[in-house]
Amino acid sequence: MEVKIIKKTKRSQFKNEEGILCSEIKGSTTLESSKFYSEAPFPNYQGYENAHILHKTVSENVFLNDLKNHLGFGKKFIEVGSGTCQLSLAFAVGTNNLLVAMDPTKESLKLGKDFAEKNNIDNVIFLNSDIFDDVVQDDFFDVVWCSGVLHHTKDSKRGFEIISKWVKEDGLIIIGVYNKIGRLRTNFRQLVYKILNKNNFSKKLISILDPYLRNNLSEEKRQAWFRDQYDHPLERKHSIDEVIDWFEDNRVSFLGSIPSPNSDFKNISQMDGDKGALIDRFFAQITMLFSNLGGEGGLCIVVGKKQKRNDQ
């Protein structure tokens, strides 16, 4: 099965290195991002001593717990830009699903692989590759998850075009990108950090201003979050309407988003494809500034369903 997830024409590019299927990363932007995360893999495993605790954490998240229940059993799920693979591993626990954790940073995958071995999780494949090499089989996965990734690549739209090919007809694709409006609070803090020359005082100030950093965190988690939000070499932002346009160009129908155009939070099982009006989507993004979504990074989740080829 490890080989079958990769296109036949690409299989010769991979080597199995200590349980991780590895290919050579050549894209300059991907290499830059990979180097950034290799120095401090994100997110780290501080506080997750075993699979039970990791699974419990995901189960307490209403959206993720609903997604895992929706996935059920005997399905194929890929986490594109998995980082240290925590979501893939949590979704693997207690199921016979095939999970693929894909990331260009080998150090991050190794943390996930080590955790899997220690906790006897054997239904996760670890894939070291670049989205833009397009190595994964088309029409293969029931769910494609890509959150917090595309906005760090050389071309968000092109990245989406590639990964949308990997999901089966009627399968789900779930995208998380920094929102143009929702990230403004973080952008303000980034500006303060930059104006103050990124010195120790500015770091302390940001730690006070950032709602997430005001939580009781381990030093490792604190540093990992700070680097990801304030020191990353490349990021861009997108609106819900941009992502909807990507969907329409790639035979993906809109199911729902967080924030929702009609202001009501909906799990995947409740999403009904209601886009609302343009003004509804605009105000939904405005509300991010006054919620945890905007306080903790401004990430917007958009969910779609792959259409059949004869659907127009």
Domain range summary for the chain, segments of one domain joined by +: 8-180+235-306, 184-231
CB environment 85-104: b (16+ within 10 A), e (fewer): bbbbbbbbbebebbbbbbbb
Domain at 8-180+235-306, CATH from 3.10.310.10, 3.40.50.150, 3.90.580.10, 1.10.3720.10: 3.40.50.150
pLDDT, tens only, 211-257: 999 998 888 888 889 999 999 999 999 999 999 999 999 999 999 99
Half-sphere exposure of 114 (CA within 13 A, CB side): 11
**In contact, 113 and 126? CB cutoff 8 Å:** yes
pLDDT, tens only, 123-168: 999 999 999 999 999 999 999 999 999 999 999 999 999 999 999 9
Quickly list H helices, 126-183.
156-164
What is the distance, to the nearest Å, from the Cα of residue 259 to the centroid of all Cα atoms in its chain? 16
3-state SS record for 97-125: CEEEEEECCHHHHHHHHHHHHHCCCCCEE
Q: How far apart are CA 240 and CA 258, in angstroms?
A: 9
pLDDT, tens only, 15-63: 999 999 999 999 999 999 999 988 878 777 777 779 988 888 888 999 9
User: How much is the pTM?
Assistant: 0.94
Q: How far apart are CA 255 and CA 257, in angstroms?
A: 7
Beta strands in 138-230 (DSSP E): 141-147, 167-178
